[in-house]
Amino acid sequence: MASHIVGYPRMGPKRELKFALESFWDGKSSAEELQKVAANLRTSIWKQMADTGIKYIPSNTFSYYDQVLDTTAMLGAVPPRYNWTGGEIGFDTYFSMARGNASVPAMEMTKWFDTNYHFIVPELGPDVKFSYASHKAVDEYKEAKSLGVDTVPVLIGPVTYLLLSKPAKGVEKTFPLLSLLDKILPVYKEVIAELKAAGASWIQFDEPTLVKDLESHQLEAFTKAYAELESSLSGLNVLIETYFADVPADAFRTLTALKGVSAFGFDLVRGTQTLDLIKGGFPSDKYLFAGVVDGRNIWANDLASSLSILQTLEGIVGKDKLVVSTSSSLLHTAVDLVNEPKLDQEIKSWLAFAAQKVVEVNALAKALAGQKDEAFFSANAEAQASRKSSPRVNNDAVQKAAAALKGSDHRRATNVSARLDAQQKKLNLPILPTTTIGSFPQTIELRRVRREYKAKKISEEEYVKAIKEEINKVVKIQEELDIDVLVHGEPERNDMVEYFGEQLSGFAFTANGWVQSYGSRCVKPPIIYGDVSRPKPMTVFWSTAAQSMTKRPMKGMLTGPVTILNWSFVRNDQPRFETCYQIALAIKDEVEDLEKAGITVIQIDEAALREGLPLRKSEHAFYLDWAVHSFRITNVGVQDTTQIHTHMCYSNFNDIIHSIIDMDADVITIENSRSDEKLLSVFREGVKYGAGIGPGVYDIHSPRIPSTEEIADRINKMLAVLETNILWVNPDCGLKTRKYTEVKPALQNMVAAAKQLRTQLASAKEAWKGHNIKTKIP
């Protein structure tokens, strides 16, 4: 019985690629040194899978930034602003597209389906000249082959690539991106021809958009694309891989009828209804790649349950046509439990990271082939039973408190307009108030202090002194820049979710459970294994210390319940909304303690609310109902004069704008600049927004420093669709990934732009008053 892995984490078990990338970007190492680190990681991954016994090992799932950007490079679809003149795309052009450079901004970045991974959005139009400009897929196949590993090269499928793209600047928003199919397929044919010549026998096309609600013409594009590729694919085994949800019935029919395709991969963890479609009829001559090992979470597989499913499928498709697989790429999981020697042993027995999932896939394949490892299966069954019966998982008081939430929608008693009036009387802010999102640069020295405190190399007193000094520095910088509402810079936090999870019950933490978010940015998601509660205040000490350093309003900074949920590895033994309500109650306690301590502006970030939106429209309403409700629970008890902010970033918000309004926050700061101000279009289309709103005026994920004029131009575009009295001026997101040499001039220009526009607005107001006086009828 054969086994397959959809994809594997790239960063390395201890983030080796992250450090190599950042060293290269900082000019401290060469391209050759970066490539050497990457090659070593690829070698390690391929050999690990081969040694474990995996038959179908993926290649070309490694990336220096993002696999969609890799496809853009392969197709030569470089936007003109990067001045690429043809030939093989090198690091300069590649990283300029991803990160921007001193003269031009980066391409838009958004969430990969409903994950916390981000991809670079292709910018396409009728004038794009596609050409075969990156041979990465073929080079990596050859590289693996030279090591004695025959891999399955993986490409983003042509239809998914186009459906994930957007019209380039200057191209009509209604431009039909699928009309470019005939222009990109010749490049795909060239890649396929080279892979065949190199000796590839299998090729995998990832077409995850097939799990979404597609229109008939979009489904027809799949039929057209693979019919056109059929002759080129002749002699190859072709796998179409889908993941993250059920495949709808019409998409399943389209998919299984594609010409030239040998195999279909399905997510049978998040797509359990797909099982019914397979049972209802699966092509007798095709392979089924059954994704029964979860690629998105870190819980050990229930091997007995998975084996039962596989045995049922074996009866449908036959022993020779069934392949055991992961439900999706393992990119979304941590790398290896071996690197967690300090993790609680009982909890550790419940887990499987990427390396362990590879072993699970192989164990299931061997069991189906009659070579069941009884000891391995027995240990797995014991761990499953231990988790179900462990007293540390369930807390009756928490369960009852969450159950009692039913029956109320938890809205503040006063409407937002009246609250804003009360808050303005207390805060006395200028029009176009300036603020930042929360974090300030995380310097090497700051990281050293946190690391030494965690390792008990410095005392708590020394740690508190160092963090207070950092907060004071950040406060002074903001006061010198004349920012209106300040933040303390979050120097005590390595990660916004991890920081809160460490102080909540029901969470466990890893030392090296890193997961790639985008580029070199990695996060270490907490593990929610049990019921959640807040034993004691989490941020009050630092927020009050920061407020004591300034007379300006200081934000209390919290992460919202939905974001904590969506950026954690969540328990899979109860509905996600139940866990979210538990977190909401814990954050509610913190909000009320901050208010009692004199903090008058409290930001509850919900950066990941949109990312958790289900991929199918029929499931949107239920998710948005409990997600928005969870946010409202956190702040329902505060006074009208306490201003509640929230923040969202790097997603398409336009389709959930009414749910954002329903959150009933006083102020929302929201990513806007990197997505070409797409957010503003909803207001142009007539959506009325009465709360405070700060669409980001510059992209913090690029080292580029925007000019005062550029920021002023952005603010003017906002003023064309939003009322002056509700508009805030702020960056797109937190500043932790930037350097002070970038942050200070960017913020200086931001404040200058806000002041410039205040002066212009005041002058216009005076001129208007003068005009009214002169034209007044006696």
Catalytic residue status for 701: yes
Buried b (16+ CB within 10 A) or exposed e, 670-692: bbbbbbbbbbbebbeeeeebebb
Q: How far is CA 742 from CA 118, 338, 621, 699, 703, in A?
A: 23, 38, 41, 12, 6
Distance CA 43, CA 54 (A): 15
Question: Cβ(290)–Cβ(268) under 8 Å?
Answer: yes
Q: How many other β-carbons are positioned within 10 Å of the β-carbon of residue 490?
A: 24
Distance CA 496, CA 500 (A): 7
Question: Cβ(259)–Cβ(227) under 8 Å?
Answer: yes
Binding-site residues for Zn(2+), in ranges, read 647, 649, 658, 662, 671, 733
Distance CA 477, CA 483 (A): 9
Q: Which amino acid belongs to residue 690?
A: G
Contacts of 124 (CB under 8 A, 6+ apart): 77, 162, 165, 166, 167, 168, 171, 177, 180
Apex CA 90: angle with CA 84 and CA 91, to 5°? 110
| Per-position DSSP letters for 102-157, written without gaps between them | SSSPPPPEEESTTSS-EEEPPEE-TT--------HHHHHHHHHHHTT--EEEEEE-
Residue 456, classified by CB atoms within 10 Å of its CB into exposed (0-12), middle (13-18) or buried (19+), is exposed
486 SS3 class: strand
Binding-site residues, in ranges, read 18, 116, 437-439, 490, 521-522, 567, 605, 647, 649, 658, 662, 671, 733
Element (H, E) at 264: strand 263-267
What pLDDT, in 10s, does the model give residues 150-208? 999 999 999 999 999 999 999 999 999 999 999 999 999 999 999 999 999 999 999 99
Question: Cβ(157)–Cβ(206) under 8 Å?
Answer: yes
Per-residue model confidence (pLDDT) at position 778: 41
The torsion defined by the Cα of 462, 464, 465 and 466, in degrees rounded to 10, comes to 90
- Which residue from 39, 31, 33 is spatially nearest to 93, judged by alpha carbons? 31
Distance CA 479, CA 417 (A): 29
Give phi and psi for 243, each to the nearest 5.
Answer: -165, 170
Binding-site residues for L-methionine, in ranges, read 437-439, 490, 605
Question: Cβ(169)–Cβ(676) under 8 Å?
Answer: yes
Residue keyed to tokens 């008081």: 397
Contacts of 423 (CB under 8 A, 6+ apart): 600, 640, 641, 642, 643, 666
Per-residue model confidence (pLDDT) at position 467: 95
Distance CA 627, CA 651 (A): 16
Per-residue model confidence (pLDDT) at position 678: 66
Binding-site residues for 5-methyltetrahydropteroyltri-L-glutamate, in ranges, read 18, 116, 521-522, 567
569 SS3 class: strand
CA diameter of the chain: 101
Q: Distance of alpha carbon 316 from its chain centroid, rounded?
A: 37
Residue 549, classified by CB atoms within 10 Å of its CB into exposed (0-12), middle (13-18) or buried (19+), is middle
558 SS3 class: strand
Runs of H (alpha helix) within 209-294:
216-233, 249-256, 274-280
Contacts of 778 (CB under 8 A, 6+ apart): none
Low-confidence ranges of the chain (pLDDT < 70): 650-652, 674-679, 768-778
Per-residue model confidence (pLDDT) at position 776: 43
Interstrand relation of 515-518 and 521-523 (parallel, antiparallel or unpaired) = antiparallel
Residue keyed to tokens 């963090």: 467
Catalytic residue among 4, 620, 701, 771: 701
Structure tokens at 372: 């069941």
Q: How many other β-carbons are positioned within 10 Å of the β-carbon of residue 610?
A: 26
Distance CA 596, CA 600 (A): 9
Distance CA 508, CA 348 (A): 10
Give the CA count within 13 Å in the CB-facing half-sphere of 335: 21
Q: How many other β-carbons are positioned within 10 Å of the β-carbon of residue 763?
A: 10
445 SS3 class: helix
Per-residue model confidence (pLDDT) at position 648: 87
Q: How far is CA 471 from CA 285, 441, 554, in A?
A: 65, 11, 11
Distance CA 337, CA 481 (A): 46
Per-residue model confidence (pLDDT) at position 775: 42
Structure tokens at 223: 């039929």
Give phi and psi for 175, each to the nearest 5.
Answer: -55, 130
Q: How many other β-carbons are positioned within 10 Å of the β-carbon of residue 104?
A: 16
Q: Distance of alpha carbon 44 from its chain centroid, rounded?
A: 26
Q: What is the DSSP letter of 435?
A: B
Per-residue model confidence (pLDDT) at position 652: 67
Per-residue model confidence (pLDDT) at position 651: 59
